[in-house]
A and B are shown apart, each in its own frame.
Chain A
Amino acid sequence: MKEFGYERPAHPTDALAMIAGVAGARFLGGGTNLVDLMKLGVETPAVLIDVTALPYDFVTDDADGGLRVGSGTRNSDLAAHLAVRRRYPALAQAVLAGASGQLRNMATVGGNLLQRTRCPYFQDVTKPCNKRVPDSGCPARDGEHHNLAILGGSDLCIATNPSDMAVALAAFDAVVFVEEPAGPRAVPIADFYRLPADEPQRETTLEPGALITAVALPALPWAANSRYRKARERASYSFAIGSVAVALDVADGMVRDVRIALGAVAPIPWRAYRAEQSLRGQPATEVAFREAADAELEWAQPLRDNRYKVPLVRNLMVRTLIELVQAS
């Protein structure tokens, strides 16, 4: 591993000054992704600024009825929090579906949002990768892409966002609070991640040196009727090959409102707006659910070895919607 410095500020202003003052400085949360990537040589920070001593380990009620989660909250604490489990169950389920007990105890909410893709070419410094080394090429399109994107990819990059948590956050229209050199900013999750287009190395809309402080979950009473469902190659401790976070508001057999987000299919947590639009005001039936799933997935551009994701994600959407009708 390349040598680096280490700082552990206790105050946000110190953390922001430190990252602004040193080229190649990076914030360190739980380390479950960044330290791993440093061992692989993918990340080579000059200085690590450990943010786990900052006052961001909290889950509190917002005045508007929502919930605010500090960026330093450990994944296991978030998943175990009673208000999260009762009011946003899909979020607790998504977090619990990720990684292992050990890693959830370490990983923070802010770090989870910023974790990097597990595309095998990104993680292997002996291979080209447009995300890791711009303009070096992408072997994935003709190579190993069985778990890469079917939606939202570009010619330069088809890496998938690996987060389970972020899929649930996308479904709930979470807002990410950040401190940037220009000041504080509230970033809706829909604007937080960016598609690769011709700059796959830029994964978020954050300014350099930005510090995530909290994530807000807006009030959404019917989010209590939500679920996260994840398909993977093992029953536990494996990244998704497809996942859905769904919240459903159904009355008198009709869909009043619905939220659907997809994981492991795109470079960002993929909000299925087309499926949602197709369902609002429709009868809550399997036929309507299939049509909604198709409305989203007709835009999919699968490759040779990831075509399976289209029916997989369609079935995940339909099954989860049916379960939520039964639970209503």
Chain B
Amino acid sequence: MTDPYSLTVNGTDHQVVDAWLGESLLYVLRERLGLPGSKAGCEQGECGSCSVIVDGSLECACLILAAAAVGCDITTVEGLQPGRGDFTTVQEAFIAEGAVQCGFCTPGLVVALTDLLARVPHPSDLEVREAISGNLCRCTGYGRILAAAQAAAKAASDE
């Protein structure tokens, strides 16, 4: 057990008590803070399903010790949405383009593509492919996801 600590997630401070230092940020988000949007896939940094944004940087929550994220500004997929039931441009594009099958990789991809479009508003297809190379999807074959990325970029520039 460790002393209580505080994590800033989606703009809100959360107290974490009775936790062990070895818990990953992913575990704490899902099991202690009630934020199950980040998915526990490989838990080895391979699949990207746990992608979150830490101080503006896209990272794998499974390889971050939660206690090491104290003082950081953490954004999960839940924090991207303006409100429950409201979808972001990237999420709307996923729905419209049929980029979701089983859905397990979707939150990580939404976070990764949101990060990409914030840095590169009009990415080439190759830039999209490189940006999501750390996010594994075993259902779609990626075609619809690439289409959704371009649709989201277009929708954002039309707004």
Please report A residues at the B interface, Cβ cutoff 8 Å.
1, 3-6, 8, 28, 30-32, 35-36, 38-39, 48, 50, 52, 74, 76, 99-103, 105-106, 236-237
Interface centre among B43, B45, B131, B135 (most CB of A within 10 A): B45
With a cutoff of 8 Å between Cβ atoms, the chain B residues found around residue A1 in the complex are: 22
Contact A5-B21, Cβ < 8 Å, known A32-B63, A102-B51, A106-B64: yes
A-B contact pairs, 29 of them (CB 8 A): A3-B20, A6-B2, A6-B21, A6-B65, A30-B63, A31-B63, A31-B64, A31-B68, A32-B45, A35-B64, A38-B22, A50-B65, A50-B68, A100-B135, A101-B112, A101-B130, A101-B133, A102-B45, A102-B51, A102-B58, A103-B63, A103-B134, A105-B58, A105-B59, A106-B57, A106-B59, A106-B63, A236-B129, A236-B130
Do A31 and B65 touch across chains, with their CB atoms under 8 A apart? yes
User: Are B65 and A102 in touch, CB under 8 angstroms?
Assistant: no
Q: What is the minimal beta-carbon distance from B140 to any residue of chain A, in angstroms?
A: 17
A229 CB to closest chain B CB, in angstroms? 17
**Closest chain B CB from A116 CB (angstroms):** 14
The 5 closest A-B pairs by CB, nearest first: A100-B134, A236-B133, A237-B133, A105-B57, A6-B21
- Interface size on B, as a range, is 20 to 34
Q: A36-B44, A39-B44, A106-B60 are in contact. Are A101 and B134 (CB under 8 A)?
A: yes
Q: Whole-angstrom distance from the CB of A74 to the nearest CB of chain B?
A: 8
Residues of A within 8 A of B51 (CB): 102
Chain B residues within 8 Å of A30, by CB: 63
Q: Which B residues form the contact surface with A (CB < 8 A)?
A: 2, 20-22, 24, 43-45, 48, 51, 57-60, 63-65, 67-68, 112, 129-131, 133-135
The answer to whether B59 touches A102, judged by C-beta atoms less than 8 angstroms apart, is yes
Minimum Cβ distance to chain A for residue B34 (Å): 23
